[in-house]
Amino acid sequence: MIFKPSALLCLSSIWGVLLQVTAVKNKSKVSQGQFPVTQNVTAIEGGTVNLTCRVDQNDNTSLQWSNPAQQTLYFDDKKALRDNRIELVRASWHELSISISDVTLSDEGQYTCSLFTMPVKTSRAFLTVLGVPEKPHITGYTSPVMEGDPIRLTCKTSGSKPAADIRWFKGDQEITDVEKKQEKDSNGKTFTVISVLDFRGDRKDDGAIVSCRVDHESLNSTPHIATQSLDIHYTPTVKILPSTPLPQEGQQLILTCESKGKPLPEPVLWTKDGGELPDPERMVVNGRELTITFLNKTDNGTYRCEATNSIGKNSAEYILIINDPNAYPGPAATDHALIGGIVAVVVFVTLCSIILLGRYLARHKGTYLTNEAKGAEDAPDADTAIINAEGSQVNAEEKKEYFI
């Protein structure tokens, strides 16, 4: 059989097509077990993230990364999108890894890795971008604050995604009674968080540090912190401290006026019994100390120390009673007092017993009346005298007994 050249050319073309179709079918059979594998990733705004696509078995089939807009980033080792932030990390028949630096919130979305088999197989990885909160700042504080006045502090941070958490502390103690609110920023993706702390100025808080702490997963356990030192002004507190608890005649006594306040009260005013100190030569004032060089009983009285600052004034009193060292009771005097007390108790008990006994005997006392025999003088003989006697047994009256 003789074929024309045109027929031969047609047969060659058909044969080539059949070979290609057979090759594609064979490749499809080989790649039935192939499938790209990716993983979701999280990046911090401004940081760098890697996107990796892997295939366990690959017969020289191409891999491709595409962005959320379905733009090709890399096809094997060939860069397709002109973006200097995107770089090739690794390209082989089993892996295609790329990196994106200086990540922005607009980079967030679903990225696709494609394996060009018949049919094309894909795997998707979602890139989450965390918005980093701005460093917070505290507003609303005006120094100084008078004791008892209200204080309102406001802490604010913007740019967080998701919304950041704000916590308040006074020293190391957390304050939980606060107001919080959040609102979306103009870009529609990040949040502004505001927290308000209300309290009243107290002298114990003077010099305390109030801190506002912003916690967020993008900060890697290193929170942003803003601080505010409190300056509280308050009236003085006054206390008098003697140099000895039992001042005695002839000794020296130093009274120290301990005053605390803000502003610091200076100087202090000493008085005795509502008037000036009576003896300036023996009573010397040096700053906050009153020194009485030689005590005597005329120094007894009430000493007052008064401290004043721009907020107000306060005072304290000390009552001085000088002890006589010779009259100080010793152990012997104490024993004598004890014995005297016991004797007094015994005498008292004895007197009470005598009085009770006398009252008892008086209630049971008897009165007996008796009559003597009369008429013995007129009787002619003794027998008649006895018979006629008023006190005889015949005429005798019964004895009577009276009880009181």
Q: pLDDT grade, residue 331 (50/70/90)? A: low
For the chain, give the percent of residues with pLDDT over 70.
78
CB neighbours of residue 79 within 10 Å: 14
Q: Give the Cα separation of 158 and 181 in Å (integer).
A: 12
Q: What is the mean pLDDT of residues 360-374?
A: 56
Q: Give the Cα separation of 180 and 177 in Å (integer).
A: 10
Nearest CA to 167 out of 177, 159, 158 is that of: 177
Nearest CA to 51 out of 120, 108, 130 is that of: 108
Mean pLDDT rounded to a whole number for the chain: 84
- Has residue 387 got a pLDDT over 70? no
User: How is residue 146 written in tokens?
Assistant: 């008078």
Contacts of 178 (CB under 8 A, 6+ apart): 168, 195, 196, 197
Say which residue, 135 or 324, is predicted with more confidence: 135
> How would you write the chain as a 3-class SS string?
CCCCHHHHHHHHHHHHHHHHHHHHHHHHHHHHHCCCECCCEEEECCCCEEEEEECCCCCCCCEEEECCCCCEEEECCEECCCCCCEEEEEECCCEEEEEECCCCHHHCEEEEEEECCCCCEEEEEEEEEEECCCCCEEECCCCCEECCCEEEEEEEEEEEECCCEEEEEECCEEECCCEEEEEECCCCCCEEEEEEEEEECCHHHCCCEEEEEEECHHHCCCCEEEEEECCEEEEEEEEEEECCCCCECCCCEEEEEEEEEECCCCCEEEEECCECCCCCCCEEEECCEEEECCCCHHHCEEEEEEEECCCCEEEEEEEECCECHHHCCCHHHHHHHHHHHHHHHHHHHHHHHHHHHHHHHHHCCEEECCCCCCCCCCCCCHHHHHHHCCCCCCCCCCCCEEEC
Lowest-pLDDT range of 60-64, 210-214, 251-255: 60-64
The tens digit of pLDDT for each residue in 33-65 reads 588 999 999 999 999 999 999 998 877 889 999
The tens digit of pLDDT for each residue in 22-32 reads 334 444 444 45
Strand order in 224-229's β-sheet? Answer: 173-175, 165-170, 209-215, 224-229
Q: What is the pLDDT of residue 323?
A: 80
CB 264 within 8 A of CB 309: yes
pTM score, whole prediction? 0.64
Q: What is the pLDDT of residue 347?
A: 82
Q: Give the Cα separation of 31 and 46 in Å (integer).
A: 39
Q: Give the Cα separation of 287 and 327 in Å (integer).
A: 35
- Has residue 305 got a pLDDT over 90? yes
At 347, which amino acid appears? V
User: How is residue 204 written in tokens?
Assistant: 């114990």
Q: Give the Cα separation of 18 and 10 in Å (integer).
A: 12
Q: pLDDT grade, residue 348 (50/70/90)? A: confident
The residue to which tokens 């802490």 are assigned? 155
Q: pLDDT grade, residue 334 (50/70/90)? A: low
Q: Give the Cα separation of 98 and 41 in Å (integer).
A: 13
- Has residue 294 got a pLDDT over 50? yes
Q: What is the mean pLDDT of residues 197-214?
A: 96
Lowest-pLDDT range of 62-71, 98-107, 321-330: 321-330
Nearest CA to 242 out of 319, 301, 297, 313 is that of: 319
